[in-house]
Amino acid sequence: MTARIAILDDYQNAALTLADWSVLKDRAAITVFNDHLEDEAAVIRRLQPFDIVCVMRERTPLPRSVIAALPNLRLIVSTGSRNASIDLAAAEARGIAVVNTGYVSTGVVELAWALLLALLRHVPEEAASLRAGGWQTRIGGDLAGRTLGLVGLGRSGAAMARIALAFGMRVIAWSQNLTPEKAAEHGAQWVEKRALFAGADIVSVHMVLSARTRGLIGAAELAAMKPDALLVNTSRGPIVDEAALIAALTEGRIAGAALDVFDREPLPPDHPFRRLPNCLATPHVGFVTRATYTVFYQDTVKAIDAFLGTPGN
């Protein structure tokens, strides 16, 4: 029996080019969907014929209500080491296997610095001016001698600290579990939460979204920031109170924000982050690199191959 495989949310139409799917050709029929569906009923209608669903983490959610409506589903393969948008208990109750792929973490850090520098040096505005026939229009900021405040000092935060030190920056850090000793191991100084927001010239967020971190940065934290400070978020949108950030940017209480993640994705067409002049926004592309996608889809093929090769499947 041929297994029916759905690959979801392949925005760049890259899945079939970055892995050798031919190993499945005699056992599977593959359908790639490049668009994104938000309506749950539409997602169910699309996925009902499929035995295997390959999801890009946190693009199309698979809650209990969706899983319960997919009678043929036997395997979910999700990119990345975790995917909070899959109801694992519902899958287990139905006997549906859930497999995660490997991950390359360097892309998010690289994008954080790209956004930070572009915002600090007004790269989009200066490039647009040049294309329009203009020349210099703004004075950029500096990194050397400035203070980077890291909210989270795990793998990504520690990488941010190393790069900041190479730029000649001072690094301060805070998270709920961070200790002064652990911060010092990465060349950072531990500070209290409010002191971080008050003292940093640039605040960069590097935490996993959880019940404890949702809304972690709100109106009070933004109010403590310097008027010329910048906020960078390449982790998860809901860690920062969206309404509070929009208000701070609209009123000019902080100089700007660079964002790759949002409460709702894709970002609605009329969202303020699309038009605020002091907001540099990208469409959650921190992990969208060739190296990361290659790992994602090669591991996906391996997982499906192993699943279909199991006796009884």
User: 146, 186, 206, 236: which is the annotated catalytic residue?
Assistant: 236
265 catalytic residue (yes or no): yes
Q: At what angle do helices 155-166 and 106-120 cross, to 10 degrees?
A: 40
92 catalytic residue (yes or no): no
Give φ, ψ of 92 to 5 degrees.
Answer: -65, -40
User: 192, 265, 271, 275: which is the annotated catalytic residue?
Assistant: 265
What's the number of CA atoms in the CB half-sphere (13 Å) around residue 81? 5
CA distances from 293 to 103, 157, 192, 255 (A): 9, 22, 37, 34
Q: What long-range pairs does 276-283 form, CB within 8 A, spacing at least 24? A: 276/246, 276/249, 276/250, 278/249, 278/252, 279/249, 280/115, 280/118, 280/119, 280/124, 280/256, 282/111, 282/115
Give SS3 for 252.
coil
74 catalytic residue (yes or no): no
In degrees, rounded to 5, the angle at the alpha carbon of residue 246 between the alpha carbons of residues 114 and 115 is 0
DSSP characters for 272-284? GGGT-TTEEE--S
> What residues act catalytically?
236, 265, 284
